[in-house]
Chains A and B, each alone.
Chain A
Amino acid sequence: MSKLIGPFARRKFLSCSKIRVFEALCTDTVVTFDVVKENTLKSLSYCRFYSSEKKKTSGLTKVKSTEMTKFSHTKTEFFGVHHHFAGCSLKWTRSGNLLTSYQDIPVPLKETAKTASYLGVILAGVGVTAVIFYQVFRELFSSKSPNSVYTTSLKKCCKDPRVIDSLGEPIKGFGEETRRGRRRHVSHLFYERDGINFLRMKYYIQGSRKRGTVHLEMRENDKGDFDYRYLFVQLDDYPRNTIIIEDNRYDNQMSFDKPFDML
Chain B
Amino acid sequence: MEEYAREPCPWRIVDDCGGAFTMGAIGGAIFQSIKGFRNAPSGMNRRFLGSLSAIKQRAPIIAGNFAIWGGMFSTIDCTLVHFRRKEDPWNSIISGAATGGILAARNGLPAMAGSAVIGGVLLAIIEGVGILFTRLSAEQFKPPNPTLEDPSQLGPPPGFHTQQPNY
State the CA gap A110–B153 with chains docked (Å).
69
Q: State the A residues within 8 Å of B (CB).
A: 7, 11, 13, 129, 131-133, 135-136, 139-140, 147, 150-151, 154, 170-175, 177, 180-185, 189-191, 193, 200, 204, 211, 215, 230, 232, 234, 236, 242, 244, 247, 249-250, 259-260, 263
Q: Known contacts A189-B138, A215-B151, A242-B154; decide if A135 and B92 are in contact (CB<8 Å).
A: no
Contact A136-B127, Cβ < 8 Å, known A173-B87, A211-B4 = yes
User: A-contacting residues of B (Cβ < 8 Å)?
Assistant: 1, 3-4, 8-9, 11-12, 15-16, 19, 39, 41-42, 81, 85-92, 124-125, 127-132, 134-135, 138, 142-143, 146, 148, 150-151, 153-154, 157-158, 160, 163, 165
The answer to whether B148 touches A183 (Cβ under 8 A) is: no
Identify B92's interface contact among A7, A184, A189, A249, CB under 8 A. A184
Contact in complex: B153, A232 (CB < 8 Å): yes
Bound Cα distance from A199 to B148, whole angstroms: 11
Main secondary structure of the interface of B (DSSP, over half): helix
Q: In whole angstroms, what is the CA distance A184 to B132 when docked?
A: 14
A191 contacts which of B19, B42, B90, B148 (Cβ < 8 Å)? B148
Say yes or no: A177 contacts B3, CB within 8 Å.
yes
A254 to B163, CA, bound (A): 20
Partner of A184, one of B91, B158, B160: B91
Given A191-B146, A211-B1, A247-B154, residue A133 in contact with residue B41 (CB < 8 A): no
Answer whether A249 and B154 are a contact pair too, CB < 8 Å, given A13-B42, A184-B89, A211-B1: yes
Residues of A within 8 A of B1 (CB): 211, 236
Known: A174-B86, A215-B151. A135 touches B8 (CB 8 A): no
- On chain A, the residues within 8 Å of B19 by CB distance are 180
Residues on A with C-beta less than 8 A from B165 are 263
Q: Specify which chain B residues have a CB less than 8 angstroms from the CB of A242 in the assembled complex.
A: 153-154
Residues of chain A contacted by B130 (CB below 8 angstroms): 185
What's the minimum C-beta distance from A120 to chain B, rounded to whole angstroms?
21
